[in-house]
Structure 1
Amino acid sequence: MIESIREIDKLPGDYKTEIHYIGQILEGRGFDTDIGLQCEVQLEYGESWMELPQKSDTPMQTQTSYPGKDEIFVWCHPVDLHFATDSIFGSPKLLIRVWRLDDLGRIDLFSYGVCSLPCTTGYFMLNCPTWRPIGNWRDEAMSFFVGGPPKLTNEDALNKNLDLRKKVKTVSSGSVYIELEVLLKNFEKHWTISKPLS
């Protein structure tokens, strides 16, 4: 009976520390296309983390952006994430999918990426490289002439099954830049935070 009481879900006030991420999905650079791109970002984190308010399974998604002369896709999509946690393990990661909108109105999954969020206070400009799987010669020819680049058949290779990820042949596909301010609450009371040597 005592064990079953301990397994009850924690409430936000039961956690020792909190972390707040405020910023924006800023832009995409280095993508080899001149048509519209949009970025979809999904959160993933461990069991000792709780999103406040309660977790939404809906990913964040930017508008479609077209490159300027500098070949930068500007999104400036706001990010406002708040977590309570008892452990640094299982810290949040962003699973990134970049989608391409062509001139015919078709939307194709263009590339994937994974980016760990920092767990120290301060300002961060995160450079999140993306990639796409390489298909066989037929897949690549279809992608070139018809559209629809090769996709992962099992998205566990993104973050969950790293053994599977090692087997996927990929090619680099540009970077997503995320600008964040990180605020910590009660970390200094419960954990030793290392400081750089002076």
Structure 2
Amino acid sequence: MSELHVIGQIIGANGFPNNSLFCKWGIHAGGAWKILSGLKEGQTQIDNPELDDMSCWAHPIDIHFATKGLQGWPKIHFQVWYRDSIGRNELYGYGYCHIPTSPGIHQIECTTWRPVGTYWEQISSAFLGGGPQLKNPDLIYDGSDRFKLKTQAMGVIHLELSIITRNFEKYGVES
């Protein structure tokens, strides 16, 4: 079987309205992909920077896959959350990006978005906090129904990923 090893980190995020942020992440791959080692989801710590607008997480990612084909190439998806001064968590954005297909070190910027909701949900959100969230989190990386959503752009997540491929040519998998 061909193998893909992803080693790196979620460096942090910037461009969000507030900076006390943490991130939930996960990796989704097609049915032909099998995880040999590593975690396919996790959560960073909260960072509340005082001098910079960049929330730094430096959260490690280390996952090893085996596959028989390229269909369903892995994607990494994110949920960025804000924690206010009294401990409430508010969703600030969703995002996803494909794991790079070429071996080497890659600097990736993943843009994020969040649902806007109806006019009344926007007013409620302004006074009470919170806001609309996706009922089905698969919409983050599966664009089949996402075009129906009204969204607004949020900040950017920064990643550094090292990609190692093994036996792709030996088994006839062309990248």
Give the Å deviation of 1:163.
Answer: 3.2
State yes or no: 1:165 paired with 2:138: no
Runs of 4 or more above 2 Å deviation: 67-70, 153-157, 188-194
What is the TM-score normalised by the length of structure 1? Answer: 0.82
State yes or no: 1:23 paired with 2:23: no
Report the 3-state secondary structure (helix = DSSP H, G, I; strand = E; otherwise coil) of the residue aligned with 1:52.
strand
Aligned sequence identity (%): 38
Partner Cα separation in structure 2 for residue 63 and residue 118 of structure 1: 25
- Match for 1:101: what amino acid? R
State yes or no: 1:177 paired with 2:162: no
Q: Which residue number in structure 1 is paired with residue 102 of structure 2?
A: 120
Give the Å deviation of 1:68.
Answer: 3.7
- Match for 2:123: what amino acid? A
Partner Cα separation in structure 2 for residue 153 and residue 181 of structure 1: 33
Higher radius of gyration, 1 or 2: 1
- Match for 2:72: what amino acid? G
Partner Cα separation in structure 2 for residue 142 and residue 107 of structure 1: 16
**How many aligned residue pairs are there?**
175
Query: Of Structure 1 and Structure 2, which has the larger fraction of its residues in helix?
Result: 1
Superimposed CA distance per residue, residues 40-78 of structure 1 (whole angstroms, 9 cap, x where no aligned partner): 10111011110113x866x21000011343300100001
Q: Where in structure 2 are there 5+ consecutive unaligned residues?
A: none
Is the Cα–Cα contact under 8 Å of residues 112 and 154 in structure 2 kept in the other structure? yes
Partner Cα separation in structure 1 for residue 58 and residue 8 of structure 2: 9
Decide which of 20, 42, 55 is 1:73's aligned counterpart. 55
- Match for 2:144: what amino acid? D
What is the TM-score normalised by the length of structure 2? Answer: 0.92
The farther-off stretch of 88-97 and 149-158 is 149-158
- Match for 1:91: what amino acid? W
